[in-house]
Amino acid sequence: MASDPVREPVDVTNGARHTVCDESAFTTGAELFIDGGYTAQ
């Protein structure tokens, strides 16, 4: 099976890290799908 660049563990990690960092303080009313690109298929 070929490598799928959409589903890398770092994609999930970066999304989760963004939700807890100070830089996301003004991110309101947004839906962040942290699923490794599954919904983008």
Determine the pLDDT at residue 33. 80
Determine the pLDDT at residue 20. 87
> Measured on CA atoms in the order 24, 22, 40, 35, is the torsion positive or negative?
negative
- For residue 30, count other CB atoms closer than 10 A to its CB: 6
CB 38 within 8 A of CB 7: yes
The residue type of 17 is R
Determine the pLDDT at residue 5. 56
Q: Tell me: the pLDDT tens digits for 1-41?
A: 445 555 678 877 888 888 888 988 888 887 888 776 777 77
Global pTM value: 0.50
With CA atoms as reference, report the closest residue to 9 among 33, 40, 37: 37
